[in-house]
Structure 1
Amino acid sequence: MTNPATHDGAAASRVDAESPLQQLRRQLHRRDPAVLIDGGWRPCVSADTITVDDPATGQVIATVAAGADADIDLAVAAARRAFRDGPWPRLPGWRRAALLHALADAIEARAGTFALLESLDAGHAIGSVRNGDLPLGLRALRDTAGWATKLAGEVPMRPAGQPGMDYFLREPIGVAGLITPWNAPFLMVLQKLATALAASCTVVVKPAELAPLSALWLGDLCRQVGIPDGVVNIVTGRGADAGRALAEHPDVNIVSFTGSTAVGRSIMAAAAHSNLKRVVLELGGKSPVMVFADADLDRSAKAIVDEIAFKCGQYCAAGSRVFVQRSVCDALLVRMHAAMDGIRIGPGVEETTTMGPMISAGQRQRAADIIGHSLAAGARVLRGGQARAGSGYFFEPTILTDVGADMRISREEIFAPVLNVTAFDDDASPEAVAALANDSRYGLSAKVWARDIGTVHAMVGLLESGQVIVNGGGSGAVTLPFGGVKQSGYGRENGQVGVEHFTEIKAVRLGC
């Protein structure tokens, strides 16, 4: 790869005078479009490229390789050789863990650059990246590294004196295809990569074409810390080309994908029609929030608004359907209005920004279309509801009411800073409230705000969701399994459960 360098004192002085953002933009401009295969950067076979936009301006900030079938073939072959013949699956767990910890240390030493890169590439407020995505990713990487020494089979108890032995082993599944989204590119690449590597797998990463840059930086660091050649391969490209080729490839043993339900279906079909590869799918969400009359309204209103502003609403678990007990509905709306008044919209790289732009013009237009369709069907806008004028892909924080259950705003994942609020009767039973929440094809996350412990436990038991967060949640541990039910996905990520997805079980019945 071409890296920025200075060769004289004048050039060095110019670099010193640049801000970190200017230096990063210059590095991005000078970086050659390439894919990482078998430990080296190389142009993609077709020499095709993709331009990457700054969502805050719409201007091109980088050009990356547009890999496709031939590049995926080369990357999978490299990963297969590294798995079959290389040292990675044969390293003791403590050595693999040490390399993952070294990767975490290398990222932490460059945390400022990664935060700026992620903010520029994906549009997220830099404070949310610095205080959220980065530390969460590092905690996940270090925690997952520990599983490299703890994955084990099992020997069942047997009667004394019985000859022979029965047991099972856990072995790495093989080559893993990791297809990551644009809404949390750094965090998702790091979590999936750590999980696969802890289980001794080798990987081919296909980052989202709208925000691929942090994956390329991570590829550089994997080489620098000493992860062997071929263990981590990165092919940038379009989902319809590189992503499809990875999902269909007959020599890939598992695909881990985070993204839309529609693409998840196509990956599951490709897995079935190729080699019956395993899939882990974390898909869409239309998460309900239930606010009961005894809830802390100040806390709940702030949390609801903060979450929908986080990543400009482009967050799969965001609580976008708000159901509130009628007696406190107006009071909650007043507080939500006030919380939205405090949102500072602007380029993600600016320190004062609390909500950046949406990822693309297409995503913003889709959100506007869903709102327009719902307004035509009778919904009412309390605030926002439209794109912000000017450059970039900004959207106003929005609250809708009078929303019908069959409107697009209720049924579809909008991925924008939009809340629709519905009141439920004061005497509604937990079953009736849960029925409102469960009226969705999705089931990724649900949120409950209530002080009464009986109400809390009733709702936890009734909600059809892979995750329930009560009164803002606990410690935010990265070890809890995360994933959805219904059309929100298949399988779980994080912790022991997540790592075990990347292993196969081999049963052994040993006679004497």
Structure 2
Amino acid sequence: MEEHQEELATIEAIDSGAVYTLALKTHVGMSIQTFRYFAGWCDKIQGSTIPINQARPNRNLTFTKKEPIGVCAIVIPWNYPLMMLAWKTAACLAAGNTVVLKPAQVTPLTALKFAELAARAGIPKGVVNILPGSGALVGQRLSDHPDVRKLGFTGSTEVGKHIMKSCAVSNVKKVSLELGGKSPLIIFSDCDMDKAVRMGMSSVFFNKGENCIAAGRLFVEDSIHDHFVKRVVEEVKKMKVGDPLDRSTDHGPQNHKAHLDKLVDFCQAGIKEGATLICGGNQVQRPGFFFEPTLFTDVQDHMFIAKEESFGPIMIISSFKGGDVDDVLRRANATEFGLASGVFTRDISKALYVSEKLNAGTVFVNTYNKTDVASPFGGFKQSGFGKDLGQDALNEYLRTKAVTIEY
């Protein structure tokens, strides 16, 4: 993969719409890091010894073994095609399993290139299997198949629920689900404003907003709200929307037409409900599926755009009263999703309190989108369960056997 990283980045940019520079650094770069990280775990998977029957010491021995599950199916989304493959496949292989992976129907190319590279790297036949096709056909067959003992899925909550049901009915196969999000980002007035603006924009516009942990709603303290909005608008105007293969492009096309149409409808719903459209909200007038970076303010808690995930470059801003930390926390947690969250403040006590109270699998403090191969990643509530990355990810692809011996 390192030898072919420029080719992989080019394929990823063409296939997913990610700008080449981001595809090279993140889509491909983190994929390589992920395989290196889990390669280090291959010879470090071990069980434990457990003392039992204390009334008769030294007469019994219990130990546990961590074993591969067997055939594992993986179904990945279209926003980070190669990176999602790496996040799940690396842990699956390190645990000693074989994998059947279904890439998203609209972004299969880097997965197929990965299969070619896997064969060239000497991975035995039958260990890595790439099976393109539709979710309704291929994904369903993998969910139903009696020889598949584990299914890892990243995608929408709606599809995740269906997969979970199918896996239960078929053979009660193990499931891990990384699903939708509506991640809150709370920005207090005592923040570093320059950093809050820069990272706040990244939290929404990174990878064209096609990012599962994107900040779906920003809560900005009322005393800095107007200034924050002004700064964001100034930065949005500087963004270059265009060809993802152009090294100077900041913002490429959305992945496919159906998703572009969904973003247009999302913005129309916000306008209809009374939110203020500050900028954007439309398809860019040029060939391709380009959508303007968009900003809404005056977003009330009951509105559709306050509750639903756009999965696009749409910043949703609501203000909150200074000093009422518990109220903004209540509003931030008033969602069925719990994938990620964030807070910007110079007050370490406040930051720790907020990070404790936010009901999400990841909390970013004075940063955002800072994922790492060693840090577990996964959500709460209807954002799913199970972890990618870190040591925790190995447990998703292992089973624990207890052995007890009397002697």
Cα drift, residue 307 of structure 1: 3.0
Equivalent of 1:203 in 87, 96, 99: 99
Change (3 A) 1:474 1:114: closer
Q: 1:130 matched to which residue of 2? A: 24
Q: 2:146 matched to which residue of 1? A: 250
Q: 1:262 matched to which residue of 2? A: 158
Equivalent of 2:46 in 138, 152, 155: 152
Cα drift, residue 406 of structure 1: 2.1
Partner letter of residue 494 of structure 1?
A: L
Cα drift, residue 342 of structure 1: 2.1
Contact kept, 8 Å, 2:202 with 2:368, in 1: the verdict is no
SS in 2 for 1:178: strand
Matches within 5 A, 1:54-453: 107-157=1-51, 162-428=58-324, 430-453=325-348
Q: 1:15 matched to which residue of 2? A: none
Contact kept, 8 Å, 1:302 with 1:335, in 2: the verdict is no
Cα drift, residue 320 of structure 1: 2.4
SS in 2 for 1:477: coil
SS in 2 for 1:147: coil
Cα deviation, 1:20-46, whole Å, max 9, x if unaligned, reads xxxxxxxxxxxxxxxxxxxxxxxxxxx
In 2, the alpha carbon distance for the partners of 1:511 and 1:306 equals: 59
Contact kept, 8 Å, 1:154 with 1:167, in 2: the verdict is yes
In 1, the alpha carbon distance for the partners of 2:75 and 2:370 equals: 28
SS in 2 for 1:108: coil
SS in 1 for 2:346: coil
Partner letter of residue 303 of structure 1?
A: M
Cα drift, residue 427 of structure 1: 2.5
Q: Which protein, 1 or 2, shows the higher relative CO under an 8 Å CA cutoff with sep ≥ 6?
A: 2
Coordinate RMSD, CA, aligned? 1.4
Cα drift, residue 476 of structure 1: 4.1
Among the aligned pairs, what percent are the same residue?
36
In 2, the alpha carbon distance for the partners of 1:215 and 1:473 equals: 28
Partner letter of residue 371 of structure 1?
A: C
Change (3 A) 1:150 1:404: same
Cα drift, residue 474 of structure 1: 9.8
SS in 1 for 2:41: helix
Contact kept, 8 Å, 1:128 with 1:310, in 2: the verdict is no
SS in 2 for 1:169: strand
Contact kept, 8 Å, 1:175 with 1:254, in 2: the verdict is yes
Partner letter of residue 227 of structure 2?
A: A
Pair 1:509 & 2:404 matched: yes
In 2, the alpha carbon distance for the partners of 1:500 and 1:465 equals: 20
Change (3 A) 1:402 1:456: same
Cα deviation, 1:281-335, whole Å, max 9, x if unaligned, reads 0001111110000001111111111232222101010012010110011111111
SS in 2 for 1:148: coil
Structure 2 gap segments, 5+ residues each: none
Contact kept, 8 Å, 2:100 with 2:128, in 1: the verdict is yes
Change (3 A) 1:376 1:476: closer
Equivalent of 1:485 in 363, 380, 386: 380
Cα drift, residue 240 of structure 1: 0.7
In 2, the alpha carbon distance for the partners of 1:377 and 1:474 equals: 30
In 1, the alpha carbon distance for the partners of 2:93 and 2:71 equals: 10
SS in 2 for 1:274: helix
In 2, the alpha carbon distance for the partners of 1:474 and 1:490 equals: 19
Cα deviation, 1:38-66, whole Å, max 9, x if unaligned, reads xxxxxxxxxxxxxxxxxxxxxxxxxxxxx
Contact kept, 8 Å, 1:297 with 1:335, in 2: the verdict is no
Partner letter of residue 357 of structure 2?
A: L
In 2, the alpha carbon distance for the partners of 1:153 and 1:280 equals: 22
Decide which structure has the larger Cα Rg and report it.
1
Q: 1:471 matched to which residue of 2? A: 366
Partner letter of residue 241 of structure 1?
A: L
Q: 1:76 matched to which residue of 2? A: none
Cα deviation, 1:75-118, whole Å, max 9, x if unaligned, reads xxxxxxxxxxxxxxxxxxxxxxxxxxxxxxxx001111011110
Change (3 A) 1:203 1:460: same
In 2, the alpha carbon distance for the partners of 1:156 and 1:508 equals: 10
Contact kept, 8 Å, 2:213 with 2:369, in 1: the verdict is no
Partner letter of residue 137 of structure 1?
A: S
Partner letter of residue 274 of structure 1?
A: S
Structure 1 gap segments, 5+ residues each: 1-106
In 2, the alpha carbon distance for the partners of 1:476 and 1:192 equals: 15
